[in-house]
């Protein structure tokens, strides 16, 4: 029986695709001794960067047909077969509800929102503060009012509250698809289940949906895993397609106590292996790391651990420098090592 189904609800609460225990108040008490005793470098001891984006590069289309700019964490600009997709943008100083509350970013935005090229569609995976920046969304709506927005069920109301007209928003349930157009192409975006949760306060958890997505252009295909713990759905999603050029999986903000909702580097490796590794799922791109302190591990630990695993497995990683518009060439590894500078 397939695990890949539309979402289900219990009242107003969305349910995970498999039974999942999410972090609660009891977990906080379990973590307190670790917070007191840990001495990891959870934040860089010195200022990182800067990592300026050369926006002039966007004046020319990618020669390969696929170019990605990673802005840190899970914020990306993907130029794929003539369509520009901005994913989970957060330009805020902190991943939190207020300017003074929440984890502070390790380095400033690599370019102002005003210097972004024309964006065809903004894709929002879920409504957590480290994936959906309210001020970012509001400013984008002013700068590029014609953009389309694609997101998960229930998140449209949040976007509308930040200034996006409802007619420009497409909400999708798991297994649903939508077609978007760019200046020089079209793109099919499909929502797939992930094992996570949602909410922006302690009182609205699970009230909106969360998802992973597949982006399919004329020649290229990308899996954007967003946030998820491990589950058998990774393998089944990969089986639905003839392969990916790039598979994006989260590696940061991990702790064994919340392994059900975050992969971490070892979980990402397990998921990538289930998806067929490089042979079937292309290059492995680590996301959800390098910008915010959201856990107890050293900030470099996730990428160093994944690099170690990839070396053992013989896998090819694709890990560009923050802010650098970088072409993806099929099968060609990229490891920038910027975090060790």
Predicted pLDDT of residue 252: 97
Give domain status of residue 43, yes or no.
Answer: no
Question: Is the bond leading into 126 cis (omega within 30 degrees of zero)?
Answer: no
What angle is formed at CA 121 by the lines to CA 117 and CA 127, rounded to 5 degrees? 115
Give domain status of residue 331, yes or no.
Answer: yes
CA distance 123 to 89: 9
CA distance 99 to 111: 19
Predicted pLDDT of residue 1: 81
Predicted pLDDT of residue 310: 98
Give domain status of residue 2, yes or no.
Answer: no
Lookup: tokens for 35 = 């917070």
CA distance 256 to 31: 11
Give domain status of residue 226, yes or no.
Answer: yes
The lowest-confidence range among 17-26, 247-256, 295-304, 328-337 is 17-26
**Residue appearing with tokens 């290059």:** 283
3-state secondary structure of 99: coil
CA distance 172 to 208: 11
Which residue(s) pair with 9 in the sheet?
A: 14
* End-to-end CA separation in angstroms for the chain: 48
Predicted pLDDT of residue 27: 60
Give domain status of residue 104, yes or no.
Answer: yes
Give domain status of residue 1, yes or no.
Answer: no
Measured in degrees and rounded to the nearest 5, phi and psi for residue 161 equal -65, -25
Lookup: tokens for 334 = 């990229």
Label residues 83-121 b or e (16+ Cβ within 10 Å = b).
bbbbbbbbbbebbbeeeeebbebbbbbbbebeebbebbb
What angle is formed at CA 200 by the lines to CA 195 and CA 206, rounded to 5 degrees? 40
What angle is formed at CA 285 by the lines to CA 330 and CA 187, rounded to 5 degrees? 65
Predicted pLDDT of residue 16: 97
Give domain status of residue 26, yes or no.
Answer: no
Length of the chain, please? Answer: 341
pLDDT of 38 strictly over 80: no
Predicted pLDDT of residue 202: 84
Q: What is the pTM of this model?
A: 0.96
Residue 68 makes CB contacts below 8 A (sequence gap 6+) with: 76, 77, 78, 79, 246, 285, 320, 325, 326, 328
Give domain status of residue 138, yes or no.
Answer: yes
Count the domains in the chain: 1
What kind and span of H or E run contains 28? helix 25-37
Which residue(s) pair with 213 in the sheet?
A: 191, 224
Radius of gyration of the CA atoms of the chain, in A: 19
Predicted pLDDT of residue 137: 98
Q: Is the dihedral of CA 49, 89, 320, 317 positive or negative?
A: positive
pLDDT of 104 strictly over 90: yes
Within its chain, how far is the Cα of 301 from the centroid? 18
Contact 133, 163 (CB under 8 A): no
- Any idea what the CATH number is for the domain that residue 225 is in? 3.60.15.10
Q: List the alpha helices (DSSP H) in 209-330.
A: 233-239, 264-274, 277-281, 301-313
pLDDT tens digits, 192-228: 999 999 999 989 999 999 999 999 999 999 999 999 9
What angle is formed at CA 253 by the lines to CA 335 and CA 322, rounded to 5 degrees? 35
CA distance 152 to 269: 26
Domain hosting residue 53, numbered range: 49-340
pLDDT band at 341 (very low <50, low <70, confident <90, very high): confident
């Amino acid at each position: 029986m397939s695990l890949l189904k539309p979402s289900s609800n219990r009242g107003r609460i969305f349910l995970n695709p498999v039974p999942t225990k999410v972090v609660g108040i009891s977990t906080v008490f379990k973590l307190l001794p670790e917070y007191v005793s840990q001495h990891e470098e959870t934040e860089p001891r010195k200022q990182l960067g800067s990592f300026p984006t050369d926006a002039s590069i966007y004046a020319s289309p990618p020669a390969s047909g696929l170019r990605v700019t990673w802005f840190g964490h899970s914020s990306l600009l993907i130029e794929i077969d003539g369509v520009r997709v901005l994913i989970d943008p957060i330009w805020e100083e902190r991943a939190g509800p207020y300017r003074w509350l929440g984890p502070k970013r390790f380095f400033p935005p690599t370019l102002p929102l005003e210097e972004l090229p024309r964006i065809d569609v903004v894709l929002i995976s879920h409504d957590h503060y480290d994936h959906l920046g309210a001020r970012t969304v509001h400013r984008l709506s002013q700068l590029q009012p014609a953009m389309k927005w694609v997101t998960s069920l229930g998140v449209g109301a949040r976007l509308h509250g930040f200034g996006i007209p409802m007619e420009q928003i497409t909400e999708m349930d798991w297994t649903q698809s939508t077609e978007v157009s760019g200046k020089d192409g079209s793109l099919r975006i499909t929502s797939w289940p992930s094992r996570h949760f949602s909410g922006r306060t302690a009182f609205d958890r699970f009230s909106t949906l969360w998802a992973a997505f597949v982006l399919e252009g004329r020649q290229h295909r990308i899996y954007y895993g967003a946030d998820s713990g491990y589950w058998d759905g990774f393998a089944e999603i990969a089986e639905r397609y003839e392969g990916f050029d790039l598979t994006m999986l989260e590696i940061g903000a991990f702790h064994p106590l919340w392994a059900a909702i975050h992969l971490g580097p070892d979980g990402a490796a397990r998921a990538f292996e289930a998806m067929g590794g490089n042979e079937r799922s292309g290059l492995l791109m680590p996301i959800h790391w390098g910008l915010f302190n959201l856990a107890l591990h050293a900030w470099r630990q996730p990428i160093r651990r994944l690099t170690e695993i990839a070396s053992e497995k013989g896998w090819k990683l694709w890990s560009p420098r923050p802010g650098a518009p970088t072409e993806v060439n099929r099968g060609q590894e990229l490891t920038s090592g910027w975090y060790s500078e």
